[in-house]
Amino acid sequence: MPSLSPVIEAEQLCRRFGRRWAFARVDLQVAAGESLLVVGANGSGKTTLLRVLGTVLRPSQGNLRLFGTDPAQDPVAVRRRLALLSHHSGLYEDLSARDNLGVIARLGDHGAHDAAALLEQVGLDDRPDPIRAFSAGMRKRLQVATLLLQRPELVLLDEPFAALDPAGVDDVAALLRGLGATLVVTSHRIAKAARLCDRAVLLEDGLPRWTGPADDAVRAWSALHPGSAPAEVAG
């Protein structure tokens, strides 16, 4: 069961770029060990919300506390406890998987690690070729290995199932579930992502239009988007 201790507390959170509001009036409370799914059409504010929660962007209005702390007051301490993974891999294309883990360990001061064991844990061989030769599924697995290395308490995932086939989606979902971290996930694969999450929030034109159990997210999406393309809710 999730702890009652809140990892994320957001009150009337807003972010704008010039005169355009990316999202507005978002209220969130996510307890340790919970997983939250954020759904919405392209341009609804999902990725921007994730970047604000990840302290990449500051909110334009509203209050945000992560781990009980205002991230603007102690950003370094907060960032050490979270990881933000976008649908762009953020990996070093010319390095091997082992060398990628080594660089991330040094940059994050994560100390000694067993790269071969981490790669085996996510189903990757410890091979010397650069990751530019890796498939989308292999890259996702390597990203999960970086999470196992960092051991963050909060993991923010932007479209973690993009470019994966159904078997790859199942494998990555199982690996993410095994992290034991608090998760916030954005995904167009609503049905599949819902199986990974406890609760969901649906953004429409930057505003939260629905919150509820993740299992009801597909129904909520369909109610707001009658006749929407199957890809938006695909498992």
Whether pLDDT at 58 is above 80: yes
Domains in the chain, please, with CATH?
1-81+154-235 (3.40.50.300), 90-151 (no CATH)
Q: What is the pLDDT of residues 83-128, one digit of tens each?
A: 999 877 789 999 999 999 999 998 878 777 899 999 998 989 888 9
What letter would DSSP give residue 183?
E
pLDDT value, residue 233: 55
User: Within a 13 Å sphere around the CA of 160, how many CA atoms are in the beta-carbon half?
Assistant: 34
How far apart CA 42 and CA 48 sit, in angstroms, is 11
What is the per-residue pLDDT for 5? 66
pLDDT of residue 234: 52
Asked whether 187 and 208 are in contact (CB, 8 A), the reply is no
The secondary structure of the chain in percent helix, strand, coil, rounded to multiples of 5, reads 35, 25, 40
pLDDT tens per residue, range 180-207: 999 999 998 899 999 999 999 999 999 9
Kindly provide the residue ranges of all beta strands, DSSP E only, lying in the chain, ordered along the sequence.
6-17, 20-31, 35-39, 61-66, 82-85, 154-158, 182-186, 199-204, 207-213
Share of the chain above pLDDT 70, in %: 94
